[in-house]
Amino acid sequence: MEVSKLFTTAFFILQTLILVSSAPGNSNLFREYIGAEFKNVRFSDLPINKNVEFHFILSFAIDYTTSSSASPTNGKFNIFWDTDNLTPSQVTAIKSKNSNVKVALSLGGDSVGGGYAYFNPSSVNSWLSNAVSSLTHIIQEYNLDGIDIDYEHFQTDPDTFAQCIGQLISTLKKNGVISVASIAPYDDDQVQSHYMALWKSYGHLIDYVNFQFYAYDQGTTVSQFMDYFETQRSNYKGGKILPSFISDGSGGLSPENGFFTACSKLKSEGNLHGIFVWCADDSKALDFKYEKHSQSLLAISH
């Protein structure tokens, strides 16, 4: 009888360990923004672990004019990343060399032409028509796989934002133009009101939530980070929330202060859906050491 109990207990412990190590929520996804800071970084500069799914995110495409006094174009997107070093041929080359690589583009960002990049549509239908047309052209020219939504300033209400962006994602996916869509909110009342409205109506079309945890205060602790993560899991119910850090250490939980400890805790809970980094432009000076660490952790996380 005692032997039987002992065997049953041992089997239960082993089964639990197996379930934790292979928890279905864990993923080997690594994502990194690239090109916004014009520091001559190329796709080929980054270390790519063959055992992860690797997404580059070109930053940014913005619906503003490219003149020095940039102005809104109502959904007619232009390219604002480092096109000298991040070209269509280089997208094709990095994807051909690495079957585990996808490349997306991010929309919006914080600023353009010395001012904020506002989401400022004239109407849902006109913005959507322009956005579908201009983005389809860019995505096909660059052989891209997806879009990321990173608007951070708004001159419209949350519902209009939700309808514009939600219908954009829906249309591009339906047309076979993209296969991946993500959003990149952070902890700000106006930002959250817009993205949570989008999530409420179109969350089923959004593959990843690239939550900007580095927008929290510099010096964030592991315990605080875990609390923040739970808060965002509640805000974006059912979403794949990705933990994140900023390369220059200017905010949030840094790699030096416990970011990977937090990721290991998430992994043990089955909640490590991937990791993303802002940004390759700054990481280049650090020889991408934290990218290597991130990918090593992810390669055994699922």
- The residues that are catalytic are 152
Which residues share a beta bridge with 244?
Answer: 276
Radius of gyration of the chain (CA): 20
Vertex 83, ends 32 and 136: CA angle to 5°?
Answer: 80
> What gap in Å lies between CA 154 and CA 173, rounded to an integer?
25
Pairing of β 78-79 and β 180-183: unpaired
Which residues share a beta bridge with 91?
Answer: none
Q: How is residue 194 written in tokens?
A: 């817009």
* Residue 49 neighbours by CB under 8 Å, 6+ apart: 30, 292, 295, 296, 298, 299
- Classify residue 216 by burial, with Cβ atoms within 10 Å: 0-12, 13-18, 19+: middle
Q: Among candidates 210, 224, 227, 225, which has minimal Cα distance to 277?
A: 210
CA distances from 157 to 17, 18, 119, 211 (A): 47, 47, 10, 21
**Which residue is listed with tokens 């962006």?**
165
- Classify residue 88 by burial, with Cβ atoms within 10 Å: 0-12, 13-18, 19+: middle
Q: Among candidates 122, 110, 201, 204, which has minimal Cα distance to 162?
A: 201
